[in-house]
Amino acid sequence: MRPCRTCHYRPYLDELNINGLKFPLPVNDVSKFENQNADIAVSVVTYEERELIPLYINPHRDRKHTVHLLLLSDEKTMHYTLIRNLSRLVAGRTKYTNKTFVCPYCFHCFSR
C-alpha cells in the first residue's frame, strides 16, 4: 500500500467522527477531534529555525492510537504531514549518530 494515495483511506472515512469540523483543521480544533474520537491522540509540531516547536501536545497518554503531525504553513496555506519517525526528524539535534529515543511529549532525545 502506498500511503500517499488517498484512495487507500476511503474505507476508513466512516470510522472517524469529523462532525462539525472544518478542514484543514486549525490547531485549536485538534482537541475537539480528539474528544470526538476516543481512541486517537494527536500531537502537532512545527519546525522553525532548526527547532521543533510544539503547537499542541495531546494530554491523552492512554489512547490506542497516537499520531504526530508536522504543520507546514505560510501566510496563505497550511498542511499537515505525518511524522513517522521522531528519531529521524530530530537526528540533526544531537551528536549521537545512531537511533535516538525521543520523548513524544517534550521532544527530549535519549541515546537509550
- pTM for the model stands at 0.82
Query: How many Å apart are CA 62 and CA 79, to the nearest integer?
Result: 27
pLDDT tens sequence across 54-93: 999 999 888 999 999 999 988 888 999 999 988 888 766 6
| Amino acid at the residue 100 | T
Domain that includes residue 24, residue range:
6-85
pLDDT tens sequence across 94-112: 565 677 788 877 777 787 7
